[in-house]
Structure 1
Amino acid sequence: MRDALRALLDLRAAAVPGASPEEYKARVVQATALVDRYRADDGDPRADVKKALTTAMRLYAFAASAWSVYADKGDFAGVGRDPAIAECPQLQRSIDRDAAQWKFKADDPAFVGLIAGSEGLPDLWACASDRLDAVAKLLAGQTQ
Structure 2
Amino acid sequence: METKIRKTAKPSIYFSVKQKHTIIKDYLSSGLPKQKIWEKYTGDKKEKGKLLKFMRQLGYIEGDIVKKPVSFFMDLPTTNKPQVAPVRNETSHKTNQLEQELKDSRLREQAYLVMIQIAERDLKIDIRKKSFTK
- Place the TM-score, normalised by the shorter chain, in its bin: under 0.3
The structure that is helix-richer by fraction is 1
TM-score scaled by length of structure 2 = 0.22
Which structure's relative contact order is higher, taking Cα pairs within 8 Å and 6+ residues apart?
Answer: 1
